[in-house]
Amino acid sequence: MNQTKSAGALTAKKKILILLPDGVGLRNFAFTSFVAIGEKLGWEVIFWNHTPFDLSQFNFSQIKLQGRIRSKTDLLKRAKIEAELDHFSRKFEDPVYQTYKFPTSQKGIKPFIKNRIISLLINNHRGEEGLQRLRKKLKFSERKGSFYEHCKTILQKEKPDFIFCTNQRPAAAIAPLTAALDLNIPTGTFIFSWDNLPKATMVVETDYYFVWSDYMKMELLKYYPHIRSEQTLVTGSPQFEPHFDLTLRQSRQDFFREHNLDLSKKYICFSGDDKTTCPDDPQYLDDIADSVKKLNSEGSNLGIIFRRCPVDFSDRYDEVLTRHKDLITPIAPLWKKVGDNWNTILPTKKDLALQINTIIHTEAVVNLASSMVFDYGIFDKPCLYLNYEVENKEDNTWTPQKVYNFVHFRSMPSTKTVFWVNSRKKISKKLELALAAKPEDLKETRKWFKKINIHPPQEASQRIWEEIERITMK
């Protein structure tokens, strides 16, 4: 047994397995101070790693998790998500939940059969009781697989005091968490993103749920009334902690030299979305570039840094970047592609510094509906939200209003929270207003951030560990 000295006596270390069912949790829990805080508290911290990322390079202890979900589990998961969205639409009398559904393939016999099975499952599991049966069936399905047995064997050997799942969305987390449940090991999951709960992305069930804010706690209890208030722990998200780490910051001179930027210019950041969220992004970037050229012809001296969405490796921006190569400097996120699917494109620790220095050394951010509004708000910098139809649309069925109608934007305190760009003709004027904004002009942005994420934001990891300590002392 591992031993550590505490108050002059030998006491057993507590052991936690941090479950990484996919790569999205790396940024929050491997690349922040989360592990160091836990170890300082006397915990043995081990990553239960289901990603292709090798954490031993950071001197972290890890146990590689081998296996995959059963085909039946995947069908049940898809049915659960759609059944929940249907239930939310009926319960709250709001059609917006239907817009969260992804279109499914209708070509071929296998997709047809799968879609028929999912439709039958949805029809047979309506309402709270039907959804509860689906949740039980997910666990029951995984108990029949070799992946579950693999997880159970590891838990019986390791005997952890707590399992902390970094993301509530992946079905790959069901087997390890179900094995923990069957062995009476307490579990918790972190709600990964501020927009996740209305989208019915709660795939796992645990003893405790770690959320960003009182607002998110209210959402969780609203959408999942079987979860009790005392199971829901408000801690904030570690994703904002690196913004306060002074060791990650570069001087303006070093950052500009590294990325071949012009020290005489002020830069704005165009932050790209994935193609599904915003198929018109290249046209928006083109419009922004034309507007910046207009401002420069009138005496401004501006440039554009283009930071694409980390999971977008497409060539859809190439034409715009070539046309405006004298104005736009692309600085690609430092994510690592280790597979073909979006969830096998993994963040790196170096990208934390890159993103933070991009924020520090630009004056404002322009995008469509991105949470970068909060990242820039931390540094008292404005965000411009694009909200108009481009002239040459990529997809005639898509509109920016579809995104702004999503439920999570209802948390916005007022229309003054961001600078709204409602037409192409207004871009130049809105840029001038944003660049002239003072910190006191951004109070609504700060108000929104405080509503979404408990403050101070740099103490999220500490708050999570305090809750884990409290749970395991019971």
Q: pLDDT per residue over 219-229, tens digit each?
A: 999 999 999 99
For the residues of 354-416, what is the DSSP string, one character each?
HHHHHHHTSS-EEESS-THHHHHHHTT--EEEE-S--SS-S-TT--HHHHHTSGGGGG---GG
Dump pLDDT digits (tens) for 410-433.
999 999 999 999 999 999 999 999
Q: Note if the bond before 456 is cis, omega within 30 degrees.
A: yes
Per DSSP (E only), the strands in 344-425 are 345-346, 365-367, 383-386, 419-421
Residue 442 has, within 13 A of its CA and on its CB side, a CA count of 23
pLDDT of residue 8: 36
Of 94-103, 280-289, 341-350, 454-463, minimum mean pLDDT range = 341-350
Dump pLDDT digits (tens) for 356-374.
999 999 999 999 999 999 9
Dump pLDDT digits (tens) for 129-138.
999 999 999 9
User: Residue 333 contacts by C-beta under 8 Å, 6 or more apart in sequence?
Assistant: 307, 308, 309, 310, 351, 354, 355
Neighbours of 429 (CB within 10 A): 14
- Helix/strand/coil for 240: helix
- Per the prediction, the chain carries an average pLDDT of 94
Examine the pLDDT at 2 and tell me if it is beyond 70. no
**Secondary element (H or E) of residue 47:** strand 43-49
CATH topology of domain 3-69+145-237+458-472: Rossmann fold (3.40.50)
Asked if 237 and 220 count as a contact pair (C-beta separation under 8 A), the reply is: no
pLDDT of residue 12: 74
User: Residue 438 contacts by C-beta under 8 Å, 6 or more apart in sequence?
Assistant: none
Examine the pLDDT at 343 and tell me if it is beyond 70. no
Residue 119 to residue 215: CA distance in whole angstroms:
33
Residue 65 to residue 74: CA distance in whole angstroms:
18
Taking Cα atoms as reference points, which of 473, 195, 424, 380 lies closest to residue 290?
424
Dump pLDDT digits (tens) for 200-220.
999 999 999 999 999 999 999
Per CATH, 3-69+145-237+458-472 and 242-452 having the same topology is answered: yes
Examine the pLDDT at 7 and tell me if it is beyond 90. no
Neighbours of 137 (CB within 10 A): 17
Dump pLDDT digits (tens) for 80-125.
999 999 999 999 999 999 999 988 777 888 888 999 999 999 999 9
Asked if 226 and 197 count as a contact pair (C-beta separation under 8 A), the reply is: no
Residue 138 to residue 75: CA distance in whole angstroms:
9
- CATH number for 242-452: choose from 3.40.47.10, 3.40.50.2000, 3.40.50.1110, 3.90.1150.180: 3.40.50.2000
Distance of CA 397 to the CA centre of its chain: 26
Examine the pLDDT at 9 and tell me if it is beyond 70. no
Residue-range domain boundaries for the chain:
3-69+145-237+458-472, 71-137, 242-452
Dump pLDDT digits (tens) for 283-322.
999 999 999 999 999 999 999 999 999 989 899 999 999 9
By percentage, how much of the chain surpasses pLDDT 90?
87
Sign of CA dihedral 23, 79, 399, 376: negative
DSSP annotation of 415 reads G
Residue 142 to residue 161: CA distance in whole angstroms:
22
Q: Give the pLDDT mean for 370-392.
A: 96
Residue type, 354: L
Beta bridge partners of 61: 46
Examine the pLDDT at 176 and tell me if it is beyond 70. yes
User: Residue 335 contacts by C-beta under 8 Å, 6 or more apart in sequence?
Assistant: 310, 311, 345, 346, 347, 348, 351
Residue 162 to residue 468: CA distance in whole angstroms:
8
pLDDT category at 184 given cuts 50, 70, 90 is very high
Examine the pLDDT at 4 and tell me if it is beyond 50. no
Residue type, 462: Q
pLDDT of residue 261: 98
